[in-house]
Amino acid sequence: QGGTGLGLAIVNHIAHRHNAELRIDSEVCVGSTFSVCFIRV
């Protein structure tokens, strides 16, 4: 079942508002890893 991708768009928006970086690593037939990296203050 496919989604609309809206969840990822929301996460990306929130990450940018907090000066964070969204990293996505994907490999065909293996899967994807999504990470949100925040700057330590």
21 strand-pairing partners: 37
Which long-range contacts (C-beta less than 8 Å, at least 24 apart) are formed by 34-40? Answer: 34/8, 36/11
Domain boundaries, the chain: 6-37
Q: Distance (Å, rounded) from C-alpha 13 to C-alpha 16?
A: 5
Dump pLDDT digits (tens) for 1-41. 677 778 989 999 999 999 999 999 999 999 999 999 998 87
Question: Would you state the pLDDT for residue 40?
Answer: 83
Identify the pLDDT of residue 1. 65
Can you give the pLDDT at residue 5? 76
